[in-house]
Amino acid sequence: MPFSKLTSQPNDPLLQLITAFSEDPRPHKIDLGVGVFRDALGLTPVMRAIKAAEERLLASQKSKSYLGPEGDKGFVKAIAALLFGSSLPDRFIDGIQTPGGTGALRLAAELLVRSGVKRIFLASPTWANHNAIFRQVGLEIIAIPCFDIINQSFNLAGFIDTLATASSGDAVLLHGCCHNPLGIDPTPDEWGIIAQHIAKLNLLPLIDIAYQGLGSGWSEDAFGLQTVLAAAPFGILTYSCDKNFGLYRERTGAVYVTSPDQEQLDCILSNILCLARTNWSMPPDHGAALVRLILEDKELTHLWRTELEEMRRRTLSLREDLARLGQVGHINLAPLTQGKGMFATLPLSPNQVEWLRSQHAIYMAHSGRINIAGFRDGDVERFGTALKSLIA
């Protein structure tokens, strides 16, 4: 019988959380689960710059004919300029557009396997899909335990100790900024040390960046990736525009490779194009065309940057509100101001998370990850009260 070897797979717990939240009739419910940016009213509106670009695209687009597996070249170039600037004078860089950051990661993972890489090191915990994608293509995942969730801090020595067990040619995954699910990033000095070790051990860095501009600022958020890619001869970068341009369902991303040599870069790119062709043939156009229109136009770029900065400031001020709750039972919320981006993980057990949902209509991932942008006006106080009653 066809398909008889298949076993049913569990539903994605985060997607289940979305359904449970939407079916919950309690008016005061709080959604800290799904990883999308929200405004003070709990909405995820289309950015004004995107709306303006859509009007222009509608008026100017003359054809929907195929573009090619590389996607929108203007988009790829514009993002590269913003990402790398002039930070890598000794590297040749090229890339293609992909269906979201997830498409970029899948392609990068397949490229690693094609290149003979067997193992990938990554700081743990990481975004759940990282593990799933690397496992799917047959890479061995070596988890690096290097986060202290109680104190919301990064343990550089622990990271370097485990990294030192890697062999030449192994890959290492790093979050470019705004770590998901922890919000804990290395400091600029720590990035420098990490970069030196990657280069010394001859490892291949894969940097995933899905929240540029939502951490410390647009160029500050690129510091880590630029430092690592300048130190290692070769590197891969996967990019998502789905959060910082609010494009989510438009699936807008890119993958780039850096190389010390043009000929090798051409060879790598030809493999990337083959992989794209057999996976999705060509990426969806709409989101990338909008990003290109924004980045090629001074006025739209200014509008988009202003909106992005508003989003960044909103998460920062929510971090401060949470930190003011201070010590609640065993949870000290004060260090949350050191974190970056939309996510933080609290030291809560799955039972405690479940209790917060059933008793207080507060929804979050079972791991204790919260989407900080999910708090509407007044929600932080209610969250503090709920935590106190949980701990009491």
Catalytic site positions: 127, 208, 243
Q: Whose Cβ is closer to ligand PLP: residue 31's or residue 321's?
A: 31
- Nearest approach in angstroms of CB 288 to ligand PLP is 12
Q: Whose Cβ is closer to ligand PLP: residue 100's or residue 224's?
A: 100
- Nearest approach in angstroms of CB 240 to ligand PLP is 3
- The alpha-carbon radius of gyration of the chain (Å, integer) is 21
- Nearest approach in angstroms of CB 319 to ligand PLP is 18
Who's near 45: CB < 8 A, 6+ residues apart? 39, 246
Q: Write out the residues near ligand PLP by the rule CB under 6 A.
A: 35, 100-102, 127, 175, 180, 208, 210, 240, 242, 253
Q: Whose Cβ is closer to ligand PLP: residue 35's or residue 205's?
A: 35
Who's near 377: CB < 8 A, 6+ residues apart? 40, 41
- Nearest approach in angstroms of CB 290 to ligand PLP is 14
CA–CA separation, 322 and 312 (whole Å): 16
Spacing of C-alpha 81 from chain mean position: 19
Q: Please give the DSSP secondary-structure letter assigned to residue 336.
A: G
CB 161 within 8 A of CB 168: no
For 124, other C-beta atoms within 10 Å of its C-beta total 15
Q: What is the DSSP string of 10-38?
A: PPPHHHHHHHHHHH---TT-EE--S----
For 148, other C-beta atoms within 10 Å of its C-beta total 15
- Nearest approach in angstroms of CB 179 to ligand PLP is 8
Q: Whose Cβ is closer to ligand PLP: residue 221's or residue 321's?
A: 221
Please provide the distance, in angstroms rounded to a whole number, between the alpha carbons at the two ends of the chain.
56
For 390, other C-beta atoms within 10 Å of its C-beta total 18
Task: Dihedral sign for Cα 309, 310, 316, 319, please.
Answer: negative
CA–CA separation, 36 and 345 (whole Å): 16
Q: Whose Cβ is closer to ligand PLP: residue 127's or residue 134's?
A: 127
Who's near 215: CB < 8 A, 6+ residues apart? 177, 178, 185, 221, 312, 340, 341
Q: Whose Cβ is closer to ligand PLP: residue 69's or residue 246's?
A: 246
CB 82 within 8 A of CB 176: no
Who's near 184: CB < 8 A, 6+ residues apart? 147, 152, 153, 154, 338, 339, 340
Q: Whose Cβ is closer to ligand PLP: residue 111's or residue 390's?
A: 111
